[in-house]
Structure 1
């Protein structure tokens, strides 16, 4: 597992990415919790961890895409990409697993996540796991 470093201008890049998502609906294979997180990491590091994983139309189809890679969930896949840390050590820009197997991006006491209504902000206290970016 070799994490790619954040770019020097990662904060405005992440802000621009989040701004682009305002009002966009949740869609498996386009804007779901995993691809939201991957997109945020692309904005921060320039590296696309999700290459080859997009385009599915349901949760089951997405899980079938990662099963041949040896993973049964998108969180397991994330754990293979980024070093795991305690949720209490997460800092802005780190990836969080949130209750319900959704993923988000840490932003202080809150986290950005994508739910059925699109981009949302949730309490960081929902964090189950965290990964350093």
Structure 2
């Protein structure tokens, strides 16, 4: 697992970051789950993670498949994860969310303790930590 030293004031920065993003609507380019979580990594540690820019759902799906999935991409950039339930506040998290007809969608978020903040359609959504598949310490 690769960790980066966090800014000494990371907790206040996280509160400010969540407040600043809580009502920002989803956009494939610029305000999606990847950009939300990776921007937090940059704020907290100064480390810039590669995030492909996508303009449509189709481009995003093609990009994720080309990267062998969100999990593989996160492991490449952040190292080995811990189990999702071991996530701590400020960690980079992969959520596994059930959808209709037994399908599952995976999205990135940021742990806030017992919940994970992730980008929703009309702003941030808070998802129980029990939906976390994996977490990376940052």
TM band (smaller chain): 0.7 to 0.9
**TM-score (norm: length of structure 2):** 0.81
Which residue of 2 is the match for residue 15 of structure 1? Answer: 15
Query: Is the Cα–Cα contact under 8 Å of residues 104 and 112 in structure 1 kept in the other structure?
Result: yes
Q: Does residue 1:59 correspond to 2:64, yes or no? A: no
Query: What value does the CA root-mean-square deviation take over the aligned residues?
Result: 2.0
Query: Is the Cα–Cα contact under 8 Å of residues 34 and 74 in structure 1 kept in the other structure?
Result: no
Which residue of 2 is the match for residue 25 of structure 1? Answer: 25
1:127 to 120, 129, 132: 132
State the 1:60 CA deviation: 2.8
Unmatched tracts of structure 2, length 5 or more: 97-104
**TM-score (norm: length of structure 1):** 0.84
Unmatched tracts of structure 1, length 5 or more: none
Please give the per-residue CA displacement for 1:68-114, whole angstroms capped at 9, x wherever unaligned: xx612233211112231122321101111111201111111111111
Which residue of 2 is the match for residue 84 of structure 1? Answer: 81
Q: Does residue 1:75 correspond to 2:71, yes or no? A: yes
Structure of greater relative contact order (alpha carbons < 8 Å, 6+ residues apart): 2
Query: How many residues are treated as equivalent by the alignment?
Result: 129
